Amino acid sequence: MAEDQQDTTQDKTTPLHDEHVALGASLTGFGGWLMPLRYTSDLAEHRAVREAAGLFDLSHMGEIHLEGAQSGAALDQALVGNASAIGVGRARYSMICAEDGSVLDDLIVYRLADEHFLVVANAGNAPRVAAELVARSAGFDTVVTDRSAATALVAVQGPRAEEIVASLTADGDVDTVRSMKYYASAEATVAGIGVLLARTGYTGEDGFELFVPADRAVELWRALLAAGQSHGLVPAGLSARDSLRLEAGMPLYGHELDETTTPYEAGLGRVVKLDKTGADGEPLPFVGRDALAARAQSAPARVLVGLRGEGRRPARAGYDVVQRGLDGAVGAVVGHVTSGAPSPSLGYPVAMAYVTPEVSAEGTALAVDVRGRAEPFVVVPLPFYKRS
């Protein structure tokens, strides 16, 4: 049995680190951070989120604020989406691309006020995204502030999430919780702590993300755990987070998205607003526009698909997708797996993969080269799982 070697000596820790240690979490390095991989069992934590609720520490993510009269205009130019069209109290999924149209990060943009936007970036990319936003906002009336270090983030995800969060609010905030729409946000007081509450998540379930000052994170975490106990809430780590988002067909930067991919290949062309216009009604230039406009016109060289395993062995990121040969022989390579794991909720292996367009139709019988053996997989639509 070979043990994983990981040098985590340089990794940062979140304000909740000691809580994870006290809960007996197995820790892992991720994006430069030492994070809980699991507390008890990946499968149990995954199932808890689908059936009750899970509590996640997401404090490794980046929180970058833009404040000022031209914050929206600056983001319209810096990101691929139409940030200034986001209503106050609403959020949108977006991306920041390079000039050549390749994806630097995927993001959620929250509009907190007319002139105040919050951009949430992936942990490993946050410093670069912050630097790019500063550079791209030069000349706009906006101030870009990276508040990642001062901000902790916890998520409560699952069918019981609303009950749990509502039980820690009072008066008008109970309504705020219960009536909050998906991809909306508002200030609220939870467990006596002022938070930015958002109905966003990365699990395919209902849930909330709570942005809290770092020095109140432990207090909030403990309050949520206590309030959630009778509802079946458990702390959940990155392993469950990954299997949940994979079942929900959500991309993970570094797997489905990276600097070799454009939004179109990943099936996320809808995020790119080539037609967004400025105040003068003219098409708005934004970073990557020309390259992305060209890509939008041409047929993609590869397509992101969902794969369902017909055997029991999971496919893993990096494995070749191949033609299904006779007698289980490994056929010609037609793509590669970007993410793969057993699906705890569905009971079969699931994977996402880039394949050539000719083999991307639903129902195409393919195989994955799993360490030298051809395991049968079939192309299925994404997502694999949708909550009822």
Partner 1 sequence: MADFPENLRYSAEHEWVDDASPATIGVTSVAADALGDVVYLELPEVGATIEAGAVVGEIESTKSVSELYSPVSGTVVEVNQSAVDDPAVVNSDPFGAGWLFKVDVSSRGALLTAEEYAAQAG
Q: How far is the CB of 315 from partner 1 (least distance, A)?
A: 11
**12 within 8 A of 35, measured Cβ to Cβ:** no
Look at residues 10, 133, 144, 21 and name the one whose alpha carbon lies nearest to residue 78.
133
Task: Tell which positions 242-271 bind partner 1, by CB under 8 A.
Answer: 242-243
**80 within 8 A of 273, measured Cβ to Cβ:** yes
The residue among 302 and 313 lying less far from partner 1, judged by its C-beta, is 313
**Total residues at interface with partner 1 (CB under 8 A):** 21
Alpha helices in 61-171 (DSSP H): 71-78, 126-136, 161-166
Of positions 1, 22, 279, 332, contacts partner 1 by CB under 8 A: 1
Binding letters toward partner 1, positions 115-134, x by CB under 8 A: --------------------
The residue among 109 and 368 lying less far from partner 1, judged by its C-beta, is 368
Q: How far is the CB of 160 from partner 1 (least distance, A)?
A: 23
- Tell me how far apart the alpha carbons of residues 120 and 130 are, in angstroms, rounded to a whole number: 10
- Tell me how far apart the alpha carbons of residues 207 and 203 are, in angstroms, rounded to a whole number: 9
Q: What letter does residue 144 receive in the DSSP assignment? A: E
The residue among 6 and 277 lying less far from partner 1, judged by its C-beta, is 6
Of positions 11, 13, 43, 356, contacts partner 1 by CB under 8 A: 43
| Pairing of the two strands 26-30 and 33-38 | antiparallel
Determine if 38 is a binding residue for partner 1 (CB under 8 A): yes
Look at residues 175, 161, 238, 173 and name the one whose alpha carbon lies nearest to residue 206.
161
Only one of the segments 35-43, 165-173, 175-183, 278-286 lies at the binding site for partner 1 (rule: CB under 8 A); that segment is: 35-43
Of positions 19, 25, 34, 42, contacts partner 1 by CB under 8 A: 42
Phi-psi region of 176 (alpha: psi -120 to 50; beta: other; left: phi over 0): alpha
User: How deeply is 38 buried, as exposed, middle or buried, from its count of CB atoms within 10 A (0-12, 13-18, 19+)?
Assistant: buried
Task: Tell which positions 323-362 bind partner 1, by CB under 8 A.
Answer: 341-342, 344
The residue among 25 and 198 lying less far from partner 1, judged by its C-beta, is 25
Binding letters toward partner 1, positions 287-326, x by CB under 8 A: -------------------------xxx-x----------
Of positions 2, 22, 279, 326, contacts partner 1 by CB under 8 A: 2
Which residues, including other chains, have CB under 8 Å from residue 371's CB and lie 6 or more apart? none
Q: How far is the CB of 344 from partner 1 (least distance, A)?
A: 8
**302 within 8 A of 354, measured Cβ to Cβ:** yes
Q: What letter does residue 25 receive in the DSSP assignment? A: P
Only one of the segments 37-45, 166-174, 179-187, 209-217 lies at the binding site for partner 1 (rule: CB under 8 A); that segment is: 37-45
Binding site for partner 1 (CB under 8 A): 1-4, 26, 37-38, 41-43, 239, 242-243, 312-314, 316, 341-342, 344, 371
